[in-house]
Amino acid sequence: MAINGTYNVTIDTPMGAQTGNVSFKCDGSTLSGSYQTSRGSQNFTGIAEGDKAKWSISVPSPMGGQINLSFDCKVTDSDLTGSVQLGQFGTAPIKGKKA
């Protein structure tokens, strides 16, 4: 299955739920897309294998500087589930529904 489309997502972080949407375009195993929140949008590239998607972005840290977010998700025609490594702040679950 090609991973394509836009998903409304929620990450349950230690600082509370963070919402946004992620858009995917898959060409073979090459994944590209954008992650959008109320704080802005960021493009990314990653890897897609079957229904698995992995990508990373860098965002402003609540403590200053940048934090790397690494996503490891399962994406179906209607749902997105998985985890996000929040830099030094541990791992948080992510879930979403296709828009």
CATH number at residue 65: 2.40.128.120
SS3 (DSSP) at 65: coil
**pTM for the full predicted model:** 0.92
Q: Could you tell me what percent of the chain has a pLDDT over 70?
A: 98
Percentage of the chain exceeding pLDDT 90 = 77
Q: How many domains, the chain? A: 1
46, 52 contact by CB (below 8 A) = no
User: Which amino acid does the sequence have at 85?
Assistant: Q
User: What pLDDT was estimated at residue 81?
Assistant: 98
pLDDT for position 14: 86
- Which residues span the domain enclosing 12? 5-98
At residue 1, does pLDDT exceed 60? Answer: no
